[in-house]
Amino acid sequence: MQATMIGDYGEWAAGLAGDGPAKLSFRRDEFVDVDDWRRRARQRVIERLAPPTLQTPTDIELVESGRHDGLDVELLRWDVGYGRATEAVLLKPTGQKAPLPGVLALHDHAGKKYWGRRKIARWAKRHPLMVEHHEQYYGGRAWANELARRGYVVLVHDAFGFASRRVRPVECAEPVRGVGVEPTDDDHDSIDAYNRWAAGHEHIMAKSLFCAGTTWPGVFWQEDRVALDILAARDDVDAGRLGCGGLSGGGLRTCFLAGLDDRIGCAVCAGFMSTWRDFLLRKVHTHTWMMYVPLLPAELDFPEILGLRAPAPTMVMHCTEDRLFSNEAVRNGEIMLETVFGKAGGADNLRFEYYPGGHKFDVTMQREAFDFFDRHLGCGD
């Protein structure tokens, strides 16, 4: 018997959900009408997410505006009713007046909670650590800028737990405060120390959210929806042509946002596709506490969260040497999505692409993702 993450309890635990498609899977014979299935399954997913009630921002603060490398840039800030204000950057082609398609660009996790929007967007001189980050994951580019240059209004906001929304050690109780220090941009050691502290604090946050009756994915989903509200309400955005996408943690957030919000006309999930079974047996140690939704695995497998948007245009991108995932499980996820999209009449709207190399969203992948957005959101070079 193959060793598992929880020893000889692994196969028993993996079998608790039973054989075959989960209870609310569209792959089950009893589900025929895609709209009826989607309504029922989405309702259950939202119940399991137990999202908190947020304060709808009524005053979006324009902190600063200007131009950078052929783009108009707006630095924005808004309050969702708890914690510090969310900070965001909006990018669009300079001088464009007519409404353009909008994309909510979702930043990654990467174990770097000091950073958020700066991981994928650029509006000033890049911090040296972000130069390294872009080289490691994005072919040296700030991909949100590259997408904006193609004719999109792109919004990038800090996710819950990152950058402007991060937890400050000094505000935590003594047992978990440790020797955490408040980092600063000019002190790289303090940034590294903070990221290590934040990694150790992640299970505290997740368990605390469970105790509060909510989940980390539920908080993500609500805050991402607020950002989508803000993007869609802009005069320079065509609210009928919206997309979202991201790598890794951004791919995770894409699955929930695109799967549960019909406003997302086109979605690109890069570097986050697998099955609950494989997470349990082999890969749970490689992933964040931010992905877990209690009880949901018995009702929908992980790929089927994204499949809730079928038959709408959807792209999944996976690198075959990505050690965060098992290739077999990714392939199983592809088969699930192909079945769901085919049954929903949208087989041609699903693209599942494989690339060589490790965990990344490089220039080649970006180009193909941007082409996919162009095709389905009606934007060209």
**pLDDT tens-digit profile of 155-203?**
999 999 999 999 999 999 988 887 667 899 999 999 999 999 999 999 9
Instruction: From residue 61, give the alpha-carbon distance in Å to each of 16, 137, 166, 327.
Output: 49, 31, 20, 44
Instruction: Say if residues 127 and 65 touch (Cβ distance below 8 Å).
Output: no
Domain membership flag for residue 222: yes
The answer, yes or no, to whether residue 2 has pLDDT greater than 90, is: no
pLDDT recorded at residue 84: 96
When pLDDT is cut at 50, 70 and 90, the band that residue 95 belongs to is: confident
pLDDT recorded at residue 381: 46
What CATH number did the domain enclosing 134 receive?
3.40.50.1820
Domain membership flag for residue 184: yes
The answer, yes or no, to whether residue 1 has pLDDT greater than 70, is: no
Considering only CA atoms, which of 228, 227, 234 is closest in space to residue 97? 234
Domain membership flag for residue 171: yes
Domain total in the chain = 1
Domain membership flag for residue 98: yes
Mean pLDDT of 282-288: 91
Question: Coil, strand, or helix at residue 211?
Answer: helix
Measured torsion, CA atoms of residues 226, 229, 235, 241, in degrees rounded to the nearest 10? 130
Domain membership flag for residue 10: no
The domain of 197 spans: 61-377
Bridge-based pairing of strands 86-93 and 153-157 is: antiparallel
pLDDT recorded at residue 75: 98
pLDDT recorded at residue 118: 98
Burial track 231-245 (b if 16+ CB lie within 10 A, e otherwise): bbebeebbbebbbbb
Domain membership flag for residue 39: no
Mean pLDDT of 34-52: 98
Instruction: Say if residues 271 and 317 touch (Cβ distance below 8 Å).
Output: yes
For residue 104, what are the β-bridge partners? 155, 244
- The C-alpha atoms of residue 110 and residue 246 are separated, in whole angstroms, by 12
Domain membership flag for residue 167: yes
When pLDDT is cut at 50, 70 and 90, the band that residue 56 belongs to is: confident
The answer, yes or no, to whether residue 308 has pLDDT greater than 70, is: yes
pLDDT recorded at residue 217: 97
CB atoms within 10 A of CB 85: 16
pLDDT recorded at residue 180: 66
The answer, yes or no, to whether residue 31 has pLDDT greater than 60, is: yes
CB atoms within 10 A of CB 364: 13
Lowest-confidence region among 224-228, 268-272, 281-285, 327-331: 281-285
The answer, yes or no, to whether residue 300 has pLDDT greater than 80, is: yes
Task: List pLDDT tens digits, range 312-361.
Answer: 999 999 999 999 999 999 999 999 999 999 999 999 999 999 999 999 99
- The C-alpha atoms of residue 61 and residue 160 are separated, in whole angstroms, by 19
- The C-alpha atoms of residue 8 and residue 163 are separated, in whole angstroms, by 40
Domain membership flag for residue 312: yes
What proportions of the chain, in percent to the nearest 5, are helix, strand and coil? 45, 15, 40
Residue 50 sits at φ, ψ, to 5 deg, of 50, 55
Instruction: Say if residues 61 and 378 touch (Cβ distance below 8 Å).
Output: no
pLDDT recorded at residue 177: 87
CB atoms within 10 A of CB 181: 16
The answer, yes or no, to whether residue 151 has pLDDT greater than 60, is: yes
Lowest-confidence region among 16-25, 113-122, 195-204, 274-283: 16-25
- The C-alpha atoms of residue 38 and residue 86 are separated, in whole angstroms, by 31
Mean pLDDT of 64-73: 95
> Angle of helix 216-232 relative to helix 34-49, nearest 10 degrees?
120
Rounded to the nearest integer, the mean pLDDT of the chain is: 95
pLDDT recorded at residue 41: 98
